[in-house]
Every structure is written in C-alpha cells, then in structure tokens.
Amino acid sequence: MVELKTPCTNEDIEKLKCGDVVKMSGVLYTGRDQAHKRMVAALKEGGELPFDIEGQAIYYVGPTPNKPGEVIGSAGPTTSYRMDDLTVPLLEKGLKIMIGKGKRNDTVIEGMKKYKAVYLAAIGGAGAYISNSIKKCEIIAYDDLGAEAVRKLEVEDLQLIVAIDCEGNNIYDKREEYAKTTKATNE
C-alpha cells in the first residue's frame, strides 16, 4: 500500500503504478459535470479557478446531504467519462489526481502522460464507507449547483486503486487482457 498526501509533486505521481493500492490523506476537491463546465469556461475567459489546482486532486462525487452530526452524506464516485471532454484544461493547470469510477478516453490518458497525472478508482457502491474517510467538508464554489458544488474535503486514509498511471498503464486494459486469456484457457 502506498501512502499519499496531497498536494502532490511530479515525483509523487511518478511513484504510483497501475494496480497500486493508495491510502490518501490531505485535501481534495469535488467536481462533477456542471462544476467542470464552469471551471473550464472560467479558464477560457481568462478567469481563475475557485481553488489553486496545482498538485491537487479532484474527486468526481456529488455527495448526498449529511445527517445531523455527520461531516458528509454518502460520497460514492461518479462515472468519470462524463468529465473527459473537460479534463485536459485542468491537467494543463496542474491537476495531478482524478478520482472516480470507470474508463477514461484516450485524450485524457494522453493528457495524463503529458502533464504527469494519475487516475485513481474509488469503489462504486461504497459511498457510505468512503464518507468515513472524510473528516471535513466545506462548499467553496458554485453553491447553486447543490450536490455538484465544489467542496473542499479533508480526508484521512481514503483507500483507492491506481487505475491509470502517468505512463498510461491502464487497469481496465489489463482486466480485458486477463478476461481474454482466461477465456482462451478455459476453452
């Protein structure tokens, strides 16, 4: 298991290899479709992002409302490909880690290789479990988006898997190769 603290440097990211289990602590930010659209629009207009993205992580999540006494509600990952068309401009500005579930397109993977970033997979359906690792939560931008507002989260020992490393090694490709090999062996 690799322990990782945000913000991250290129050296931190280069150490992470496809398939590694990561225990992450520190600050990460949330952002889904609508927040990404606003952030990329701000960049195109010469504006600023709502937080310093250099070396940071974005978790693709729209948490449920928290119950009294809880920091956050269920915080399971959103399907990441929905952000694919809006990811590279954030990588160019220094985003180092994306957290979600599911595959990413080739453009995002090439951007990850070029700008030294990784994609970490969170377990879908484990939102209540994941929320136990979130120690603080504060909305910092786009409050009108509700669940899709940008939040600053402080996490402790959030367990994730390196799905795509900064060299482009991809756990989803390995899974497909394994399935083909297993099928051929069983025939």
Residues sharing a CB contact under 8 Å with residue 9, sequence separation 6 or more, in sequence order:
55
Tell me, yes or no, if 36 is annotated catalytic.
Answer: yes
Tokens standing for residue 146: 């509700």
Judging by DSSP bridges, how do beta strands 134-141 and 118-121 pair with one another?
A: unpaired
Are the beta carbons of 94 and 132 closer than 8 angstroms?
no
Q: Which of 71, 49, 73, 48 is nearest to 61 (CA)?
A: 73
Q: Which of 22, 56, 7, 3 is nearest to 164 (CA)?
A: 22
Phi and psi of 46, rounded to 5°? 80, 15
Which one of the listed residues 28, 31, 36, 57 is annotated catalytic?
A: 36
Which residues are the active-site residues? 36
